[in-house]
Amino acid sequence: MENATLHDGHRARMFERLFHTPDSLAEHELLEVILYPMIPRKDTNALAHSLLRVFGNLKNLFAATPQELMSVNGVGKKTAINLCAVGRVFAA
């Protein structure tokens, strides 16, 4: 257990929280979960916080263009397109 970190099992815990008590997740935690398939095997917490710092909230983030999203360090084209698509689903 020497190499165990605080983040071990984090994604599994987040999925369990979302499954059992979805309203218990903060905006940044929901965004982390949304980012998981876009950025596999990397910690998405810092990026979620950065995105919310830049855009203020999830509503503004999901209304952003891919180019605006890519202005945030750590957001590549694939992630920007996916976040934009998620936003457009709810804007329709």
**From its phi and psi, is residue 7 left (phi > 0), alpha (psi between -120 and 50) or beta?**
alpha
Count how many residues are written for the chain.
92
Return the pLDDT at 1: 41
Return the pLDDT at 2: 44
Return the pLDDT at 8: 76
Return the pLDDT at 41: 83
Return the pLDDT at 19: 95
Give me the residues of the chain with pLDDT under 50, please: 1-3
Place of tokens 């970190």: 5
Angstrom distance (rounded) from CA 30 to CA 22: 9
Neighbours of 31 (CB within 10 A): 21
The pTM assigned to this predicted structure is: 0.85
Return the pLDDT at 59: 95
Sign (positive or negative) of CA dihedral 66, 72, 78, 84: negative
